[in-house]
């Protein structure tokens, strides 16, 4: 049973259907065969009895003065009453045979006692037959009539029925097996496709997913849809996880660099100068706090959480903070700033804005062959603040501009090799700006520099 349970669905299906059809067919055949047999047998019995009765009536109609000789002369008439294979004999009460009509079967021993009619099924000369013994009155004589009615026709009829049932059964079962094989193949194929796709994903990851062509809206169709949705969700969460890991390592690079700088300052001068120690400790703590918040912001991005309506940032303060950090890490860079309009809070977290500005500043400094000069123009206007960051870097070729915000996009530039370039900075910047309903665009000219234009909604 256990062995059968572990066979393929197709085999189980075929066996079940085949067995069910076989049992039903066999039951119908058995019932029909026995019903037919008893019906035909009783027809044969009636037939034999009727012949015996007809003969008795014939004898009775002969009158009282009839002799055996008269009867023998009328044997042709009596033959007409019988069928070809029936044999009739007349016996004296003492057992002497008087008359015989047809000789298809040998005589049978008379019964020990006979009142009226005695019918029995027995084998006569190797053939099953009905044997009737009946007391008859012929003229003044009491005699015994013996009729042997062989069942040859009945038996050949039964064996014909049996053979037909058997052949039809075999044909039917073969047909049913073929049909159930076809049906199971058709129905199980999508399951096999599903299995193969799962196997492919297991072996080669989401990229090796096999597309399905099964469109029927049945249980298997449901299964395929559920599987594809599940796979899409898994893929999404897997991609987000990977995204978080690479984004985090990209975004933590600068704060870690700054922390490292302050720690080495402390190590070198802090022991003798309590002022340096105090200041470096404070900045280091600030860096650690910022890293914590950057991680939170990235986690929110990865989980695709909605923006907080209460997020506020003092744009000028955030800019000043990032500028200070840049000057510390890149002392050769010059950063300046101008403000137009009334300063207001922006609807973005200070960490997200810090990350955005930091990524733009870092690029401006890193993708620059000259002494970096960065000018930031802030313009508070209506419901938004516009931030324009202009650099004197190498610029971005026109054909690359549409791709700079794509994940992992890096310009292949032989003139400048920048360490640690991952192609992630601007894509994170864009994701953050989108999250807080802002816009970002870039204008650039090779050799002259780039301008990054940001729009961020104000907190109203």
| Least spacing, CB of residue 422 vs ligand ADP, in Å | 5
Q: Give 275 or 412: the residue with its C-beta nearer to ligand ADP.
A: 412
Report the interhelical angle of 253-265 vs 219-251 (nearest 10°): 30
Under the binding rule (CB under 6 A), the answer on residue 367 touching ligand ADP is: yes
Q: Retrieve residue 18's tokens.
A: 């085949």
Burial of 433-444, coded b for 16+ CB within 10 Å and e otherwise, reads bebbebebebeb
The contacts of residue 418 (CB under 8 Å, 6+ apart) are 366, 367
| Least spacing, CB of residue 416 vs ligand ADP, in Å | 8
Dist CA 255 CA 257 (whole Å):
5
Under the binding rule (CB under 6 A), the answer on residue 450 touching ligand ADP is: yes
Dist CA 348 CA 313 (whole Å):
6
Residue nearest to ligand ADP according to CB distances in the complex: 425
Q: Which of 144, 333, 356, 404 binds ligand ADP (CB under 6 A)?
A: 404
Q: Retrieve residue 322's tokens.
A: 């990032």
Q: Give 396 or 432: the residue with its C-beta nearer to ligand ADP.
A: 396
Q: Give 118 or 410: the residue with its C-beta nearer to ligand ADP.
A: 410
Q: Retrieve residue 173's tokens.
A: 């079962």
Q: Which residues pair with 148 in a beta bridge?
A: 87, 131
Q: Which of 48, 426, 431, 433 binds ligand ADP (CB under 6 A)?
A: 426
| Least spacing, CB of residue 294 vs ligand ADP, in Å | 15
Residue 392 DSSP SS3: coil
Dist CA 55 CA 100 (whole Å):
13
Stretch that binds ligand ADP, among 18-26, 137-145, 310-318, 386-394 (CB under 6 A): 386-394
Q: Give 237 or 239: the residue with its C-beta nearer to ligand ADP.
A: 239
Q: Retrieve residue 332's tokens.
A: 């050769």
Under the binding rule (CB under 6 A), the answer on residue 411 touching ligand ADP is: yes
Under the binding rule (CB under 6 A), the answer on residue 427 touching ligand ADP is: yes
Q: Give 311 or 424: the residue with its C-beta nearer to ligand ADP.
A: 424
Dist CA 358 CA 338 (whole Å):
17
| Least spacing, CB of residue 389 vs ligand ADP, in Å | 8
Residue pair 432/447 in contact by the 8 Å Cβ criterion: no
| Least spacing, CB of residue 445 vs ligand ADP, in Å | 10
Q: Give 146 or 359: the residue with its C-beta nearer to ligand ADP.
A: 359
Stretch that binds ligand ADP, among 4-12, 203-211, 282-290, 403-411 (CB under 6 A): 403-411
CA distances from 92 to 11, 75, 140, 265, 340 (A): 72, 18, 12, 147, 148
Under the binding rule (CB under 6 A), the answer on residue 393 touching ligand ADP is: yes
Stretch that binds ligand ADP, among 143-151, 232-240, 290-298, 391-399 (CB under 6 A): 391-399
The backbone torsions φ and ψ at residue 243, rounded to the nearest 5 degrees and listed phi first, read -60, -45
Q: Are strands 373-381 and 334-340 parallel, antiparallel or unpaired?
A: parallel
Q: Which of 422, 439, 457, 458 binds ligand ADP (CB under 6 A)?
A: 422
Whole-angstrom Cα Rg for the chain: 54
Q: Give 207 or 414: the residue with its C-beta nearer to ligand ADP.
A: 414
Q: Give 280 or 363: the residue with its C-beta nearer to ligand ADP.
A: 363
Residue 97 DSSP SS3: strand
Listed residue (108, 95, 92, 98) closest to 78, CA to CA: 98
Q: Give 347 or 392: the residue with its C-beta nearer to ligand ADP.
A: 392
| Least spacing, CB of residue 412 vs ligand ADP, in Å | 8
Q: Which of 25, 181, 328, 409 binds ligand ADP (CB under 6 A)?
A: 409
Stretch that binds ligand ADP, among 2-10, 77-85, 190-198, 405-413 (CB under 6 A): 405-413
CA distances from 234 to 214, 237, 239, 299 (A): 22, 5, 8, 17
Residue pair 193/214 in contact by the 8 Å Cβ criterion: yes
Q: Which of 243, 391, 438, 456 binds ligand ADP (CB under 6 A)?
A: 391
| Least spacing, CB of residue 418 vs ligand ADP, in Å | 7
| Least spacing, CB of residue 332 vs ligand ADP, in Å | 16
Q: Which residues bind ligand ADP (CB under 6 A)?
A: 359, 363-364, 367, 391, 393-396, 404, 409-411, 421-427, 450
């Amino acid at each position: 049973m256990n062995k059968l349970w572990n066979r393929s669905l197709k085999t189980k299906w075929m066996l079940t259907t085949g067995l069910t059809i076989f049992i039903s067919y066999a039951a119908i055949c058995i019932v029909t065969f026995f019903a037919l047999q008893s019906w035909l047998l009783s027809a044969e019995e009636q037939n034999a009895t009727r012949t015996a009765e007809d003969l008795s009536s014939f004898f009775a109609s002969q009158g009282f003065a009839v002799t055996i000789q008269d009867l023998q002369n009328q044997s042709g008439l009596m033959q007409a009453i019988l069928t070809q294979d029936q044999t009739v004999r007349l016996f004296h009460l003492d057992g002497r045979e008087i008359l015989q009509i047809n000789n298809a079967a040998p005589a049978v021993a008379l019964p020990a006692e006979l009142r009226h009619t005695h019918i029995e099924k027995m084998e006569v000369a190797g053939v099953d037959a009905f044997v009737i013994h009946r007391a008859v009155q012929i003229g003044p004589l009491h005699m015994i009539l013996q009729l042997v009615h062989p069942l040859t026709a009945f038996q050949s009829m039964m064996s014909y029925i049996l053979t037909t049932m058997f052949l039809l059964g075999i044909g039917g079962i073969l047909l049913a097996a073929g049909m159930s094989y076809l049906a199971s193949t058709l129905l199980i194929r999508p399951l096999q496709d599903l299995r193969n796709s799962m196997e492919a994903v297991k072996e080669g990851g989401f990229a090796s997913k096999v597309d399905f062509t099964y469109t029927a809206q049945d249980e298997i169709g449901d299964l395929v849809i559920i599987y594809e949705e599940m796979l899409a969700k898994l893929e999404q969460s897997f991609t987000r996880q990977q995204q978080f890991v690479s984004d985090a390592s990209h975004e933590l690079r600068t704060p870690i660099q700054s922390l490292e700088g302050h720690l080495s300052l402390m190590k070198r001068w802090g022991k003798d100068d309590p002022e340096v120690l105090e200041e470096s400790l404070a900045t280091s703590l600030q860096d650690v706090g910022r890293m914590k918040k950057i991680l939170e912001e990235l986690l929110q991005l990865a989980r695709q959480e909605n923006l907080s309506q209460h997020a506020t940032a003092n744009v000028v303060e955030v800019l000043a903070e990032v500028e200070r950090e840049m000057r510390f890490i890149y002392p050769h860079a010059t950063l300046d700033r101008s403000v137009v309009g009334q300063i207001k809070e922006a609807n973005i977290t200070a960490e997200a804005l810090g990350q955005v500005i930091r990524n733009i500043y870092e690029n401006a400094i890193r993708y620059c062959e000259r002494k970096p000069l960065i000018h930031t123009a802030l313009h508070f206007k209506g419901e938004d603040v516009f931030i324009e960051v202009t650099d004197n870097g190498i610029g971005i070729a026109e054909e690359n501009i549409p791709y700079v915000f794509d994940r992992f996009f890096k310009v292949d530039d032989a003139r400048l090799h920048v360490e640690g370039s991952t192609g992630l900075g601007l894509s994170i910047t864009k994701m953050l700006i989108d999250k807080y309903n802002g816009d970002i665009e870039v204008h650039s000219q090779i050799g002259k520099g780039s301008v990054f234009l940001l729009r961020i909604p104000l907190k109203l």
